[in-house]
Amino acid sequence: MGSAQAGISLDRTRMILTGNSVSASANLSNTSPDVPFLAQSWVEDAKGNKITSPLLVLPALQRINGGQKGVIRVTKTNGIDALPQDRESLFYLNVREIPPKPKKANVLQLSMQSRIKLFYRPTPIVPDSKNEVWQNKLAFKKEGNKFVADNPTPYFITVIGLTKGASEKGGERLTTFPGIMIPPKSTLDVPVTNTSVNEFSMMYVNDYGGHPEIRYRCEGTICHSIPDDQVKK
């Protein structure tokens, strides 16, 4: 019986590079206690094409010994100013582990790859506070057997799911998808199992990979977030 071999892991599920920062970094860890791995890193655009501009990750290749850590940095290159300045742009950061050549013959090796969202957030839309919540500006409109999500903000909003009541209290799930991402200043159809609800909770992903919830109340076919001081505990 074979056993899974440890390898390279990323310390985050998303990365944000702001217009007023020189670079953004992420830590890599070799979870194997004694086996060295190579870590190959690159950036892709929203369509999955490998790019080196306007964002570049360095080093593109590094060796990380067993139990050790490494660092990768995403930096801006020429062309960064051509990106939209009134909204975020989406990229993907990839890290692939390359294990050492096996000492025994006929050994199957599997190389794992991590792929996380990389957002470029231009200076004009960088929030004043790190604790600012803009996801509560997302609104929903009931249409047939779906909700139409309206994102008026300049940020990508990732919704994990909707529930009737709070999810930690075992609320009925209204969605079956593992998560959807609504682009800035756009709408997106959200299939739901029950459009008759008048209140529900939305779980989303914040900048730090956390999963907070926001309560919503519907008036007619339009659903808006409930201010915190009006949420029933």
Question: 192-205 pLDDT, tens per residue?
Answer: 999 999 999 999 99
Can you tell me the distance from the alpha carbon of 67 to that of 184, in angstroms, rounded to the nearest whole number? 40
Judgement on whether residues 116 and 169 belong to the same structural domain of the protein = no
Q: What CATH number has the domain bearing residue 192? A: 2.60.40.10
Residue at 209 is within a domain: yes
Amino acid at 140: F
Residue at 99 is within a domain: yes
State residue 108's pLDDT score: 61
Which among 153, 155, 154 is positioned nearest to 207, based on CA atoms? 155
State residue 2's pLDDT score: 35
Residue that terminates a domain, selected from 125, 154, 178: 125
Can you tell me the distance from the alpha carbon of 100 to that of 36, in angstroms, rounded to the nearest whole number? 7
Q: Which domain holds residue 198?
A: 135-225
Judgement on whether residues 75 and 113 belong to the same structural domain of the protein = yes
Judgement on whether residues 80 and 105 belong to the same structural domain of the protein = yes
Residue 102 has phi, psi (to 5 degrees) of: -65, 145
- Ranges of the chain with pLDDT below 70: 1-5, 105-109, 166-170, 232-233
Q: What is the pTM of this model?
A: 0.90
The residue count for the chain: 233
Contacts of 8 (CB under 8 A, 6+ apart): 28, 29, 30, 31, 37, 39, 64, 95, 97, 112, 114
Residue that terminates a domain, selected from 66, 98, 125: 125
Judgement on whether residues 151 and 49 belong to the same structural domain of the protein = no
State residue 31's pLDDT score: 94
State residue 230's pLDDT score: 76
Residue at 231 is within a domain: no
Judgement on whether residues 69 and 156 belong to the same structural domain of the protein = no
Can you tell me the distance from the alpha carbon of 47 to that of 188, in angstroms, rounded to the nearest whole number? 18
Residue at 232 is within a domain: no
State residue 109's pLDDT score: 66
Judgement on whether residues 34 and 116 belong to the same structural domain of the protein = yes
Judgement on whether residues 141 and 163 belong to the same structural domain of the protein = yes
User: Residue 123 gets which letter from DSSP?
Assistant: G
State residue 232's pLDDT score: 66
State residue 68's pLDDT score: 97
Residue that terminates a domain, selected from 84, 104, 125: 125
User: Look-up: residue for tokens 């290159």?
Assistant: 77
